[in-house]
Amino acid sequence: MDDFIRAWISKDISSFPDQLQDLIVDISNTGRLTIDWPLVRAVLSVKLKHVVEDCFEKMKNNKGELDKEKTQEQETELIHQLLSFQTPPLTLQRLCELLVKGEKWYGNPTKYLKAIDKVLFISPYCGEELYDDELLESTNDPAQSGFQ
């Protein structure tokens, strides 16, 4: 699967193959990664781009004209936030659930995008530090934690 993703990234990311959709479905069901995070992150960023563009298209159809600059800024912000994660966020499973089933749960594209936004922007405040080895070591040392 790693080689498949690398080949897909280097060729044509405008389409989204079923194998990659299956990967996201698997993560949404299990919360487990079977592939290196940087590759999963790339797949999720492309899927997110497709989802956001679909939402904006639906919003445009419902409301008429949208502020193109503002919508591109929102899309860029969401994708940059996802790409900023050096490790899988604590909300990875929920993000995958939203990317797979979010349209069913949120009939309103604005609310759907807000749900994605919340999942991406809450993670840096509660997840990234859990992967810091120094922090993990200091919390395992009773002398440093104040408990003896």
Kindly list the distances between the CA atom of residue 124 and the CA atoms of 59, 78, 83, 131, 133, in Å, as whole numbers in the listed order: 28, 13, 12, 11, 16
Structure tokens at 3: 């080689």
Provide the mean pLDDT of the chain. Answer: 82
Share of the chain above pLDDT 70, in %: 80
Residue 95 CA to residue 115 CA, distance in Å, equals 9
Residue 73 CA to residue 45 CA, distance in Å, equals 15
Q: Is the pLDDT of residue 143 over 70?
A: no
What confidence tens digit (pLDDT) does each residue in 34-60 have?
999 999 999 999 999 999 988 888 887
What confidence tens digit (pLDDT) does each residue in 58-107 have?
887 777 666 777 888 888 999 999 999 999 999 999 999 999 999 889 88
Residue 14 CA to residue 36 CA, distance in Å, equals 22
